[in-house]
Structure 1
Amino acid sequence: MASRPTLLRIYEIFDKHRAASLSAIGAVAALSYTLYDYLTYLSYGPGGLPYNATGWLVSTVLLRAISREGLSTRMYDNPKLPFADQPGYLPASLPQRASKRPRIGPHPVPQRQLGQLPSEEIRQKLLERFSQLGYKLEARGLVEVRQSVMELQHKGIFVPRSRKWHTVAQETRGEITHVHAGLDGSIHVTLSPDDCKKVIEAGWGQRHGLDGVRVLKKLVGFIMPVNYMLIYAPRDEAEIEVAMTIVKAGIGFMTGTREALEYFSPFGV
């Protein structure tokens, strides 16, 4: 423990050089926060931006400034929103998620969970189910499976180029959904307005932070519709059933057919 004279000497130095001392303390605090924020960005694993300091700077300095909260549903009541007047594809019995929402990383891209992560076994089961569904529906000509244009790191399910793309499909460049196969196992999927409300209200997901941000089109050439949702990573087999049901609802909406709904399994919760 520092002696009283030593503490007094430190105080005298601080008092004599107050401005320089405060600047040094501020610099150390800023450096610590910057390092913590950068390591948080890297903890997501590769995503839609470069997996380095350049990607972190773009997400932190540029995209964070224009991102929005993800839990409001008022935009889905706008009668001018495409498909706002049409019923959704999810069953009315969508159950309430059993716990509070997981903590989501502060960076809008890549959008990832930081808490309530699934076990490796559950994550692999989700990936297997997602892959099986995609290739089964691709064989029937309902979807295409190829590299995600949103994330660039994962396989995504798309509206086939042979089908006519509606307004929302054009905004996502045909992409319907993908699973984040790296660390968290969360899912991005584009849903009908009615289903977006159901998912948020039941606690299974939230909107993307850049949903509906029109300035994004000037920056990267496209806009994310307000239908673009993050579905929280399932933590057990029952939650996998719910997540896959939501994925199928997205496929039905984006392809304009309810054919995918025949693959519904009963909810496990």
Structure 2
Amino acid sequence: MASSLNLEHVSRLFQTHRAAALTALGVAIVLPIAVNDYQTYLSYGPGGVPYNVAGWLVSNLLTLASREQLSTGPYHDKELAFANEPGFFPADFPPQRASPRPPLGRHAVPQRQLEQLPSEAIRQQFVDKFEALGEAAQQRGFVEIKQSLYERQHSALFVSTNQKWHSVAQQTRGEIAHIHAGLDGSFHVVLHPADSKKLIETGWGQRHGFSGVTVMKRVAGFSLPVTYMLVYAPRDEAELDVAQAIVKASIGFMAGSRADLE
């Protein structure tokens, strides 16, 4: 009888305070999920949006505009810029990547991989090689080195203002490539359409969630070409060589030169 009366009392309370009860129930369900999602966002390290609750909210909102990242269909479009010209990768490059693709965080920005991370020593070695390549290309007048427009935490390679910028370079505001040097060691590059297709097919990377999303121009004031690619972090010497060659191909494509960059 007591149990029945208690249930009736709870029922009456619920009917009287329905809105408050539903709100409390919703908070109890959603809050742990939100806390876990926020912790995941922080685990990426600083990126292109603020590294705080405001950035997390913006990231979740922007994620609604992201698209799938692994199909190669977009690169069959003959209307793409440079689609009728050869790519910058050699015919037998890159080799098939040895591991399955690493999982990525669910947020579109910052785009980060969660597993298969390099050691600190390998990550720093890649940063050193990237910077040396950039400095060599800068001395030859192909690129300029300055802070990334997209990440805002790392230096990036840009097409030199002394070079003629083609349509893709204009779309990225000149940015060619940058490394996510803080934690995961992955990197973004802009590639020729044929090279973008090869990159996905051989398992070395995927598109950004905003690549080719034209609505981003209205939402964020800029858009990314469909050849804006994430390349997974190199984990050993052999993968460092592959990563370096991918960056070279990106510089060549964006600077409009097939000359040796070193």
Which position in structure 2 is the counterpart of 1:197? 197
Q: CA deviation at 1:121?
A: 0.7
* Contact in 2 for aligned 1:78/1:84 (Cα 8 Å): yes
Which position in structure 1 is the counterpart of 2:220? 220
Q: What are the equivalent positions in structure 2 for 1:86-97 lying under 5 Å apart?
A: 86-93=85-92, 94-97=94-97
CA-based RMSD of the aligned residues comes to 2.2
TM-score, with structure 2 as normaliser: 0.91
In the aligned structure 1, how far is the partner of 2:161 from the partner of 2:260? 17
In the aligned structure 1, how far is the partner of 2:49 from the partner of 2:164? 29
In the aligned structure 1, how far is the partner of 2:51 from the partner of 2:45? 7
Deviation sequence 1:176-196 (CA, Å, 0-9, x none) = 000011100000000000000
Deviation sequence 1:105-148 (CA, Å, 0-9, x none) = 11111111111111101101100100110001111111111111
Q: CA separation of 1:260/1:187 partners in 2, compared to 1, >3 Å: closer, same or farther?
A: farther
In the aligned structure 1, how far is the partner of 2:160 from the partner of 2:150? 16
Deviation sequence 1:47-91 (CA, Å, 0-9, x none) = 111111111111102x11110010011111111111111111111
* Contact in 2 for aligned 1:71/1:200 (Cα 8 Å): yes
Q: CA deviation at 1:27?
A: 2.4
In the aligned structure 2, how far is the partner of 1:26 from the partner of 1:219? 30
In the aligned structure 2, how far is the partner of 1:13 from the partner of 1:47? 53
The DSSP-based 3-state class of the residue aligned with 1:85 is: coil
* Contact in 2 for aligned 1:14/1:21 (Cα 8 Å): no
Letter in 1 for 2:74: M
Q: CA separation of 1:156/1:165 partners in 2, compared to 1, >3 Å: closer, same or farther?
A: same
The DSSP-based 3-state class of the residue aligned with 2:30 is: helix
Task: Say yes or no: does 1:79 pair with 2:81.
Answer: no
In the aligned structure 2, how far is the partner of 1:112 from the partner of 1:126? 17
Q: CA separation of 1:230/1:25 partners in 2, compared to 1, >3 Å: closer, same or farther?
A: same
Q: CA deviation at 1:24?
A: 4.4
Q: CA deviation at 1:162?
A: 1.1
In the aligned structure 2, how far is the partner of 1:211 from the partner of 1:219? 14
In the aligned structure 2, how far is the partner of 1:147 from the partner of 1:254? 17
* Contact in 2 for aligned 1:251/1:260 (Cα 8 Å): no
The DSSP-based 3-state class of the residue aligned with 1:66 is: coil
Letter in 1 for 2:253: F
Deviation sequence 1:91-111 (CA, Å, 0-9, x none) = 122211111100101111111
**How many corresponding residue pairs?**
255
Task: Say yes or no: does 1:169 pair with 2:195.
Answer: no
Q: CA separation of 1:151/1:260 partners in 2, compared to 1, >3 Å: closer, same or farther?
A: farther
Letter in 1 for 2:85: Q
Structure 2 unaligned regions, length at least 5: none
In the aligned structure 2, how far is the partner of 1:149 from the partner of 1:65? 22
Letter in 2 for 1:68: R
TM-score, with structure 1 as normaliser: 0.89
